[in-house]
Homo-oligomer: A and B are copies of this chain.
Amino acid sequence: MAKKEDQPQADSTEQKIFDAAHEVFLQKGMDGAKMQEIADLAGINKALLHYYYRSKEKLYEAVARAIIGHAAPVISQLIESELPLEEKIRHFIDFYIGVISRNPFIPLFIISEINKHPERFIETILPKELPKPQVFMRQVEEEIAAGRIREIHPKHLIINIISMCIFPFIAKPMARFALGLNSAEMKLFLEERRDQVTEFVLAALRP
């Protein structure tokens, strides 16, 4: 029972399956993940995967929907919250870089899986309701009108911030190559990002 929407109580077989599937799908994607590997990681028989979730697709859908369900509000937050603009930007960058450095696989999973199976995502996994950019747009326009920040397209500002927060984490090996850093230096570099991105954005917004 309890096959409806959310996962049931912890330590149940169904939950162990979901957790194992979450880990494997997150790192290997739909194509790279194998049902046997998920079963092994969960420490149970492979047939149980099909007993609780009918097919690989269904299990994948459950995991992908959960991942996106957690990620979407994090993005919406920057856009919808009612905090004053500068405070919002400071808070968002700090919070967002924290989330990503604890879960570096999530953005890459979303991006590359959407890219490989656009239909599946658009039809069944993506949330129906979009974030409402009006608040952010209005805030930026007001600050511009008041002469407190430089003129800028709000949508580009959002994407600039998100880009600088996420990209270095998902492209870590590429960045290490470009900058010629070893593993420890890279770790340090990523820790500096909080302050550096905040500083950079606020500097760009000066009138």
Is residue A177 contacting chain B, with contact meaning CB distance below 8 A? yes
Inter-chain contact A131/B178, CB cutoff 8 Å: yes
Contact of A160 among B75, B132, B197 (CB under 8 A): B197
Majority-rule SS of A interface residues: helix
Inter-chain contact B156/A192, CB cutoff 8 Å: yes
Count of interface residues, chain A, beta-carbon cutoff 8 Å: 62
Inter-chain contact B166/A110, CB cutoff 8 Å: no
Inter-chain contact A177/B32, CB cutoff 8 Å: no
Q: Provide the residues of chain B in CB contact with A31, threshold 8 Å.
A: 28-29, 31-32
Inter-chain contact A177/B130, CB cutoff 8 Å: yes
A204 to chain B: closest residue by CB? B204
Q: Mark A20-62, 1 if CB is under 8 A from B, else 0.
A: 0000000111011000000000000000000000000000000
10 closest cross-chain pairs (CB), A and B: A163-B167, A204-B204, A31-B31, A31-B32, A156-B196, A130-B180, A112-B112, A203-B204, A163-B163, A167-B167
